[in-house]
């Protein structure tokens, strides 16, 4: 049977790519750093990876871009695989209902961020991973290289430097959580690690393939196990409820899949037991999610009937 799945969604992707042209010009690229603000918002690529790692796509599906918060999924998986349940003593798993870079909940929740996919939560996860590995961003890069089978995948050093130069909000989040004892890595080191992870460059093909372990219930590309079946379910569940920030309800309603967006314009999504997707288009809505990206995933699940519901 596996053979008949090869490239089975390509006609669907081609149809979506044509339909998405009508959304050209919608949304604006992230403008908090020059490297992202300069990207043409009309660019578009989309890839599907089958469970065996076969990948195909439409548009600019092999074009590298800034992955940004999409990497929060992989650091969560790496930290969870090493630390297990104890991780959840340091970060919650409830939707925040607030913008991704918000500070407001941290004071009345004693420095415990709502979930791993807002910036505060991702800083905590990076802190945990850095404690456990001594090299959070390197562990992440090595993992992504292995899972995507792309040995050239790397940080964009200009983007990392630019993130650092415009990093006051993330620095404030880290210092505030450190004041509650929920960050233990020295804040400058933690920020360096976090900005490097945001600055990873990868394509839709890379990310769709690298996300495969979540569709394979925790099994890595080489057949070894990263997460227990239950942990893979947990990561997918947190993606579903928190992966698109304060638009997670709308994303679940429209797309019906675990997904994670980044302000570079990418979104990854998982059809557990079936395939993984990555779509990229840099025009963002006011919550920081790709306008064409959400629309393309909406069309994918509508046309194919594949969702977790
Ligand atoms: N680098 C961005 C930040 O930390 C990532 C945010 C995002 O992609 N939502 O603000």
Mutate to test the pocket of ligand 1, among 263, 266, 284 (most ligand atoms within 8 A of CB): 263
Is the complex ipTM more than 0.90?
yes
Residue 220 sits in a domain whose CATH number is: 3.40.710.10
pLDDT tens digits for 281-290?
999 999 999 9
Domain-embedded: residue 174: yes
Give the pLDDT of residue 215: 98
Q: Using CA atoms, how far apart are residues 139 and 144, in angstroms rounded to an integer? A: 9
Domain range spanning residue 48? 2-304
Give residue 15's region: left, alpha or beta (phi > 0; psi -120 to 50). Answer: alpha
Q: What one-character-per-residue DSSP string does 181-203 give?
A: T---S-HHHHHHHHHHHHTEEE-
- Domain count along the chain: 1
C-alpha of residue 133 to centroid of ligand 1, in Å: 23
pLDDT tens digits for 83-133?
999 999 999 999 988 888 888 899 889 999 999 999 999 999 999 999 999
- State which ligand 1 atom lies nearest to the alpha carbon of 194: 4
Q: Using CA atoms, how far apart are residues 115 and 73, in angstroms rounded to an integer? A: 11
Domain-embedded: residue 309: no
Domain-embedded: residue 31: yes
C-alpha of residue 288 to centroid of ligand 1, in Å: 9
What average pLDDT is seen over the chain? Answer: 95
Domain-embedded: residue 223: yes
C-alpha of residue 69 to centroid of ligand 1, in Å: 5
> Does 7 or 164 have the greater pLDDT score?
164
- State which ligand 1 atom lies nearest to the alpha carbon of 245: 9
Q: Using CA atoms, how far apart are residues 110 and 295, in angstroms rounded to an integer? A: 37
Asked if 106 contacts 56 with a C-beta cutoff of 8 angstroms, the reply is no
Give residues with Cβ within 8 angstroms of 215, minimum separation 6.
Answer: 51, 270, 271, 272, 273, 274, 275, 276
Q: Whose CA is nearest to atom 6 of ligand 1?
A: 69
Strands 45-50 and 55-59, sheet pairing? antiparallel
Binding residues for substrate: 69, 119, 163, 170, 194, 245, 263
């Amino acid at each position: 049977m596996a053979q008949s799945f090869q490239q089975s969604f390509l006609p669907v992707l081609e149809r979506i790519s044509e339909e998405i042209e009508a959304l050209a010009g919608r949304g604006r690229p992230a403008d908090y750093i020059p490297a992202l603000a300069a990207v043409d918002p009309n660019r578009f690529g989309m890839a599907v990876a089958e469970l065996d790692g076969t990948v195909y796509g439409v548009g600019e599906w092999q074009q590298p871009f800034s992955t940004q918060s999409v990497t929060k999924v992989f650091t969560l998986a790496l930290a969870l695989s090493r630390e297990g349940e104890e991780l959840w003593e340091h970060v919650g798993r409830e939707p925040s209902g607030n913008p991704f870079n918000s500070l407001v909940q941290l004071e009345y929740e004693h420095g415990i961020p709502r979930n791993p996919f807002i910036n505060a939560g991702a800083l905590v996860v990076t802190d945990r991973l850095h404690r456990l590995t001594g090299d959070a961003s390197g562990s992440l890069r090595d993992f992504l290289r292995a899972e995507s089978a792309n040995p050239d995948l790397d940080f964009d050093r200009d983007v990392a430097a630019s993130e650092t130069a415009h990093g006051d909000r993330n620095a404030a989040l880290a210092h505030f959580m450190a004041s509650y004892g929920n960050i233990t890595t020295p804040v400058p080191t933690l920020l360096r690690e976090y900005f490097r992870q945001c600055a990873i460059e990868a394509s839709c093909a890379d990310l769709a393939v690298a996300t495969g372990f979540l569709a394979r219930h925790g099994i890595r590309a080489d057949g070894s196990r990263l997460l227990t079946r239950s942990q893979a379910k947990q990561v997918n569940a947190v993606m579903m409820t928190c992966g698109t920030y304060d638009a997670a309800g709308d994303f679940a309603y429209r797309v019906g899949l675990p997904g994670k967006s980044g302000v570079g314009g990418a979104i990854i999504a998982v059809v557990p037991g079936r395939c993984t997707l990555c779509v990229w288009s840099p025009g963002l809505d006011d919550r920081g999610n790709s306008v064409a990206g959400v629309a393309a995933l909406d069309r994918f699940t509508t046309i194919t009937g594949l969702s977790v519901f």
